[in-house]
Amino acid sequence: DIQMTQSPSSLSASVGDRVTITCRASQRFSNYLSWYQQKPGKAPKLLIYAASSLQSGVPARFSGNGSGTDFTLTISSLQPEDFATYYCQQSYSTRWTFGQGTKVEIK
């Protein structure tokens, strides 16, 4: 199994801040990495697929990067609607796994 470890588990930030969330895999793989945003009581929403491709309709302030074992999600200028929990997910191994989540809160 590939374990996905996100850091930090939570963070406090202000509107306008640049925020970066890291996802580290327990073994190397190619770009089978996606990022999701989840708000309370709602289904997750796809933000980034194939490590760096922006899903249609997602604001350009979201970007993804990385390869191998280290992947990042960056929000260039945090907006009020971005306060949520973010998950990475790998679909490379036979057991697809998610990171434990990063909760982005208002400072």
Which residues of the shown chain bind another protein in the complex (CB under 8 A)?
A: 31-34, 36, 42-46, 49-51, 53, 55, 87, 89, 91, 94-101
Q: How far apart are CA 38 and CA 84, in angstroms?
A: 6
Nearest distance, CB of residue 14 and another protein, angstroms: 26
Residue 103 has which token pair? Answer: 């909760």
Asked if residues 73 and 86 have their Cβ atoms less than 8 Å apart, the reply is yes
User: Closest CB to another protein among 72 and 89?
Assistant: 89
User: Closest CB to another protein among 75 and 85?
Assistant: 85
Nearest distance, CB of residue 75 and another protein, angstroms: 19
Q: C-alpha distances in angstroms, 67 versus 1, 24, 63, 89? A: 18, 10, 14, 13
User: Closest CB to another protein among 17 and 58?
Assistant: 58
